[in-house]
Structure 1
Amino acid sequence: MASDPQPLFPKLARDALSQRIAQMLTEAIVSGRLKPGDRVSESAIAREMGVSRAPVREAGRLLESAGLLVSQANRGFFVRTINADDLDQIYELRLCIERESAARLVRVGGVPGVVAELHRQLDKMTGWSTDGQVIHQIAADLQFHRLVVEKSGNRRFLAVFDTLASEIQASTALIERVFDDPHKIARNHLLIIDALETGDQDEARAAMDYHIGVAREAVVGHFRVLEAGHPAPPPRPVP
């Protein structure tokens, strides 16, 4: 008799199931075990993990909101099709918008009114990172960057940022898995706040360039390796 195929996922205990399933699915996507376009079968995953379909469905919804999965009527969830070139262009556009948003925020004198809010988002990111709650950390990270764009006062920047929101969330989820220290990633947002508080537009631009540029290099490079058919590289240390 043929042996049963090796399951993709281990069985889980019944605490915080949807969050844990979402994290495991994220790791499977980023490592290339689940590939762009693959169907994420609720029944198959539930059977492999020894859980009901309900927490798997909820995990799918969480990852849909994070931009990693898409749902199709009467067909369920699928891994979002995204490649290295897509990611590179997302980061390039983010750099254009967020670099100039940071500079504009300084120029219009909006920094004092937003610093407390940015620190609150930073605290949320750090807290969620400590607890291993990746989905919530992604949401807090997105809101941090959105605040910079929103408070810059350029409505066109904000409209484009909001259009990109699901793709930004997806790329943020990838950052959490490519780098080896999500907690440190959260703290690195402090560099942006510090640069904004200098009151120097060039300092603000440089901080955003560095912050997004490092992520761009790592995530896009990671996906180029996967697309070449090589195993996923180990997580990178955070600079």
Structure 2
Amino acid sequence: MSVQEPGAENIRVPQLNRRSDEPFGVTIAEALAQRLQSMITQLEPGFEPGRRLDVEAIAGQFGVSATPVKQALKSLEAKSLVEIKPRRGHFVTLLSGDDVREIMNARGALEQAAIRACASRGLPEAILDALKQAFDRCQRAISNQDYEDYRRADLQFHRLWMVAGGNRRLVELYDILMAQAQIVYVYAPHSPEDIKASTVEHENLLRIAESGDLSRLEEAIGQHWNKSADRALGRYQAYLRKGEDVQVADGGS
């Protein structure tokens, strides 16, 4: 483990075994939070929902003290990715069925708010072009049976509605929900039937967006998310009933 001067955890450093996609100028705690979030959302071994997180082990893994690890986990608690239980420790959040529905409904509500923000100026042409490209990417992924790329393209398609609204804070909130939703999609991925239904709905959203009828678009987005929430909840509940690979360590449920 590396030795650091007191307070060094708050010094901005250029790297912490930095990956090429991580920005320079972040604190150790911020870099750890980014890395741990990725490990949680990708369900890496030891970071599955319900798993107890060993602060000292994580500190040793990254060659830092326990302080930035605790700071990083605290920031992930604010994103509902980690639960901190007094006298019991830190746990990766295990989502309930209600959590899944709330996440999906909240994403839909934010997308609708973003569309309302466009009412006076319409959807930017660049956003429409990007939506078409994301939709085409979804189609290619389906044809290639590349469901991981489909998931990424689907997330991109939906995030573009938020970008269209032009409200940075709403986009930040949306990104937190997207991180939580990734856990659902990894454990309970889209079924071929659900992908087919979503594709029809996405195509309808694109058609309405091109017409410029934003009031109708807002309504259609709400309807899409109601259906999407039902589909995601059904998959996730089926997964939980099977109980496959969900290991709740140290009484973390």
Using structure 1 for the length normalisation, give the TM-score. Answer: 0.58
Offset, 1:80: 7.0
Which residue of structure 2 aligns with residue 168 of structure 1?
A: 181
Which residue of structure 2 aligns with residue 185 of structure 1?
A: 198
Which residue of structure 1 aligns with residue 43 of structure 2?
A: 69
Offset, 1:133: 1.0
Residue by residue over 1:69-120, the C-alpha shift from the partner in whole angstroms, topping out at 9 and shown as x without a partner, is 1454489xx9973221210110121121011212323433234231111000
In the alignment, the residues of structure 2 paired with residue 207 and residue 231 of structure 1 have an alpha-carbon distance, to the nearest angstrom, of 35
Pick aligned residue for 2:153 from 136, 140, 145: 140
In the alignment, the residues of structure 2 paired with residue 203 and residue 146 of structure 1 have an alpha-carbon distance, to the nearest angstrom, of 19
In the alignment, the residues of structure 2 paired with residue 159 and residue 92 of structure 1 have an alpha-carbon distance, to the nearest angstrom, of 16
- Asked if 1:122 is matched to 2:121, the reply is no
Contact 2:123 / 2:164 at 8 angstroms: preserved in 1?
A: yes
Q: Secondary structure at the match of 1:108?
A: coil
Does 115-124 or 96-105 show the bigger shift? 96-105
Contact 1:106 / 1:200 at 8 angstroms: preserved in 2?
A: no
Letter in 2 for 1:149: M
Letter in 2 for 1:147: L
Letter in 1 for 2:171: L
- Asked if 1:219 is matched to 2:232, the reply is yes
In the alignment, the residues of structure 1 paired with residue 150 and residue 234 of structure 2 have an alpha-carbon distance, to the nearest angstrom, of 23
Residue by residue over 1:192-230, the C-alpha shift from the partner in whole angstroms, topping out at 9 and shown as x without a partner, is 122222323321111111211101012223434555x47
Give the ranges of 4+ consecutive aligned residues of structure 1 lying more than 3 Å apart after TM superposition: 70-75, 170-175, 221-227, 229-232
Q: Secondary structure at the match of 1:107?
A: coil
- Asked if 1:198 is matched to 2:172, the reply is no
Contact 2:142 / 2:150 at 8 angstroms: preserved in 1?
A: yes
Pick aligned residue for 1:207 from 216, 220, 224: 220
Does 111-120 or 124-133 show the bigger shift? 111-120
Structure 1 residues 226 and 120 mapped into 2: Cα distance closer, same or farther (>3 Å)?
closer
**CA-based RMSD:** 3.2
Q: Between Structure 1 and Structure 2, whose CA radius of gyration is higher?
A: 2
Q: Secondary structure at the match of 1:203?
A: helix
Structure 1 residues 204 and 81 mapped into 2: Cα distance closer, same or farther (>3 Å)?
same
In the alignment, the residues of structure 2 paired with residue 166 and residue 202 of structure 1 have an alpha-carbon distance, to the nearest angstrom, of 28
Q: Secondary structure at the match of 1:132?
A: coil
Which residue of structure 2 aligns with residue 107 of structure 1?
A: 120
Structure 1 residues 208 and 175 mapped into 2: Cα distance closer, same or farther (>3 Å)?
farther
Offset, 1:66: 9.1
Contact 1:66 / 1:138 at 8 angstroms: preserved in 2?
A: no
- Asked if 1:90 is matched to 2:103, the reply is yes
Q: Secondary structure at the match of 2:190?
A: helix
Letter in 1 for 2:43: L
Offset, 1:128: 0.8
In the alignment, the residues of structure 2 paired with residue 195 and residue 116 of structure 1 have an alpha-carbon distance, to the nearest angstrom, of 14
Residue by residue over 1:111-167, the C-alpha shift from the partner in whole angstroms, topping out at 9 and shown as x without a partner, is 423111100011111101111111111111111111110121111210101222222
Does 204-213 or 168-177 show the bigger shift? 168-177
In the alignment, the residues of structure 1 paired with residue 159 and residue 109 of structure 2 have an alpha-carbon distance, to the nearest angstrom, of 14
Aligned residues: 166
